[in-house]
Structure 1
């Protein structure tokens, strides 16, 4: 069997998701296999690996949406929509072990059991994990209202269902992230909201950072989420690699983020705290996932306070309005700009009342005039001061998918080489980075104006003026060319 090029395999996986609508749960395995065969350079081992990964995804989708024909499990005689395993057998196995563990906290026990009763695939089991099962625990960074640690999980997560022995098998020793929820040892129970939110999303959609379970730090008396180890935050990735990232790779990143936001909004929920510090890249598939749902906030937050990362906070939120799907869309616009420029919006400015005032006055980061028109237009719509003018997440996703499909289809038809996600660990000596650009915190603002849009000023050079004169001489002006130059 030939060696699998995992970076190539996952790049093809992503292309098939975009080109066949598998992300919208409309494709079956026959469609997937047909799409895979179009990539002639894949070895049979790579094709088999991609098919296996899709089979797991399709099984979960079929269980959730009750698609395809059911089959009778030869072990438990229940009718299941999954082909690779039986979700009933997995849940029965977990239920039989309910009495074998306890967190010591009734609410946590009930939450974990509820998650296990809703488990749909073997590698997405949530469990109680004793702290002694971790070793080499090292502090990594501060993250808003939490502290982040690297650790080694001695046994590792549940990975596959062993049909022969009727049990879940573990992956073995693996590196994970421990996210300690500050003040979760006190009477304030707001931290439980974040746990419930994260686990609820993870059970329903795959674009949320995977949580393997919960543990308890005996030293701080705080609960900790046990999370899948990710490669980069978006901020770290752009800091190290921006000058090497090709245009199609930037579109890939915003597509992944747009897809995640759309899935969250389809569940009729919102994120509340989107910024480049909580958009994370997976280690193997190089997909971009979302973490740190902003429901938790801070235990010291008072009524009227604003919690978040100021450059990404929608103007209406700064002005005291509640978070909405539309405020998520504004944050997404700032991520679009950051991916385009490589630096956080309003880099170098103090995150204080002066910046808040400017945002409400309609000040937005400058857009390079060579940015493609569709990208500029979409970004401006998303950061409009009036939430009603911002597009829905589904509209955003469809536009970005259309652009990415053009790239992927052209690549396929012309046998162009696949561009692999960058992992450069490049030189960052000429770039500045401040932890404040990725942290959320509490803001207290008073007497701020109502949000408004502002007509942006443009700097024209000689070539621009020549183009303007040429356009004005035409009997019928080209609207698209004017928009290219002036914006909307």
Structure 2
């Protein structure tokens, strides 16, 4: 009799908790002795969620007997679809002293490796977790998930991707998490997701070019990229298509920082003027990882200018520039800085001009802790003077690079093609050296380039301003006569010269990204007559005076070195 009273007294003591009333936690606690998972850690984990549910049962987990599921069907390895007879808890029914439930709901059962951290398994932001069950034949614990995406409240693309996670791996945890992150975020548009693409799904692989920190190949992707989810419970794809493979040197030791750089590429993948990134693969021979990208039929814009400059009129060139700056505006609008914008990273796919390689100007195995202030990765002629002096990259630095690209597209000439790309050129750029035209150019275009190349980064226009100026120039009918005059008055020999690559490139002019390290460069400045009306950007007068300034700076540097 005394024992019964003691038990009653004990139960009465937890009829109320800190809530001062019989809350949800009380109802769960009274039932603890009626169930067990057979594993004390799992029991405690479930009970902790229940004891925290004073006023809200939405995040409670349950131990669910496996015989409460029916119509269990295999989805993929370790994943099953089932119908839960009882359904999840909604509220407490005071009248019947039991839980109100949403009966007969569709759920997902996912095998749980106990060696994994249980808490991590439940931190699934993409779907609601109801509890844990145990499959008596396989003796596997399983988590019970809502079949619907938590955000969308239906079975969206992210759920289909998630159910396939255990069927692939890149062999690199950072890459796996990065790809999975893009897939879990693509609720409404499967084309936004990246994939791990097995190398054996690529054939007809042929070398195209050497990049700054890797090689570029053309290949045929047998399957093609994902379009949609089909009625056969599988992905609908484009079918065979050509893609570009960018091999990343030493990427078998790929860093987390580098994966973040690739993430930037994916972030702006919704622009018409940004090359599309499909996923990642790995060359089994070298062990290097490769980015799988949209293939641009005409290659780099630089190559196209070398072979077809004479086919372009001024209006076509400005349209190309409009494409590029629209892509750049999208990059900047996503709070991203390109940091390696040069014409080798501008591609032509029929009449669309595309930007590629966001933030990929560094080697895949670079370590930020080993970088010094003066370490710069890039192509010297396109790097803003303040960056050459060790300042941090800004949008304005990208604008400077675009100013050089405007010059290059309009003139057809690579910047400083007749000079060695060395410390002397870096010093001259800081002192005000800018490229010169050898053809007549509208003053509006010259003035726009000068604004982009201003030594003071605060004076440079934004990508939106440039885009609007180019659009205005393209649609101003009064400019048609200017177009015709310029296109008709250009010497035929000049166009042929450019088309046939008769300009001479200095053997030390380097147009691929590399490590640069400069010291003691002078403060950036414009020439004294920088904004005078000179069609060639830099006047002859300034070119002569630059020699004097350059000699003076060289003397100062030698004095510093001797001291």
State the TM-score, normalized to the length of structure 1.
0.68
- Cα distance in 1 for partners of 2:314, 2:518 equals 38
**In the alignment, which of 215, 218, 224 is matched to residue 150 of structure 1?**
218
1:335 maps to 405
Q: 1:484–1:334: structure 2 CA closer, same or farther, 3 Å change rule? A: closer
Quick check: 1:302 aligned with 2:368?
Answer: no
Summarize the alignment of residues 15-94 of structure 1 with structure 2, pairs less than 5 Å apart.
Answer: 89-94=156-161
Number of positions where the alignment pairs a residue of Structure 1 with one of Structure 2: 368
Which of the pair has the greater relative contact order for Cα pairs under 8 Å at 6+ separation? 1
Alpha-carbon offset, residue 363 of structure 1: 0.9
2:278 maps to 212
**In the alignment, which of 378, 392, 405 is matched to residue 448 of structure 2?**
378
Query: For the Cα contact (< 8 Å) 2:306–2:501, is it kept in 1?
Result: no
Q: CA RMSD in A?
A: 3.3
Quick check: 1:128 aligned with 2:128?
Answer: no
Match of 1:343, SS? Answer: coil
Match of 2:253, SS? Answer: coil
Which deviations, in whole Å up to 9, do the C-alpha atoms of 1:229-283 show, x marking residues without a partner? 1122111111111121011111111101111111111112200010000011224
Query: For the Cα contact (< 8 Å) 2:250–2:288, is it kept in 1?
Result: yes
- Cα distance in 2 for partners of 1:314, 1:87 equals 49
Q: 1:308–1:112: structure 2 CA closer, same or farther, 3 Å change rule? A: same
Q: 1:400–1:218: structure 2 CA closer, same or farther, 3 Å change rule? A: same
Query: For the Cα contact (< 8 Å) 2:198–2:282, is it kept in 1?
Result: yes
Alpha-carbon offset, residue 160 of structure 1: 4.4
Summarize the alignment of residues 57-456 of structure 1 with structure 2, pairs less than 5 Å apart.
Answer: 89-119=156-186, 120-162=188-230, 164-165=231-232, 167-186=234-253, 188-202=255-269, 204-231=270-297, 232-283=299-350, 286-294=351-359, 297-298=362-363, 299=365, 302-303=371-372, 304-367=374-437, 370-406=440-476, 428=500, 430-431=502-503, 437-455=510-528
- Cα distance in 2 for partners of 1:136, 1:254 equals 33
Query: For the Cα contact (< 8 Å) 2:244–2:295, is it kept in 1?
Result: yes
Match of 1:269, SS? Answer: coil
Query: For the Cα contact (< 8 Å) 2:217–2:246, is it kept in 1?
Result: yes
Alpha-carbon offset, residue 184 of structure 1: 1.3
Query: For the Cα contact (< 8 Å) 1:181–1:191, is it kept in 2?
Result: no
Query: For the Cα contact (< 8 Å) 2:179–2:195, is it kept in 1?
Result: yes
Match of 2:424, SS? Answer: helix
- Cα distance in 1 for partners of 2:438, 2:529 equals 12
Alpha-carbon offset, residue 130 of structure 1: 0.8
Q: 1:258–1:373: structure 2 CA closer, same or farther, 3 Å change rule? A: same
Query: For the Cα contact (< 8 Å) 1:255–1:401, is it kept in 2?
Result: yes
Q: 1:278–1:168: structure 2 CA closer, same or farther, 3 Å change rule? A: same
Q: Extract unaligned runs of 5+ from structure 1.
A: 1-75, 81-85, 412-425, 459-481
Match of 1:230, SS? Answer: coil
Alpha-carbon offset, residue 295 of structure 1: 5.0
Match of 2:427, SS? Answer: helix
Rg comparison, structure with higher value: 2
- Cα distance in 2 for partners of 1:365, 1:427 equals 20
- Cα distance in 2 for partners of 1:88, 1:236 equals 46
Match of 1:224, SS? Answer: strand
1:10 maps to none
Which deviations, in whole Å up to 9, do the C-alpha atoms of 1:393-417 show, x marking residues without a partner? 1111111111223369989xxxxxx
Alpha-carbon offset, residue 361 of structure 1: 0.7
Alpha-carbon offset, residue 125 of structure 1: 3.5
Alpha-carbon offset, residue 113 of structure 1: 1.3
Which structure has the highest strand share of the two?
A: 2
Query: For the Cα contact (< 8 Å) 1:193–1:295, is it kept in 2?
Result: no
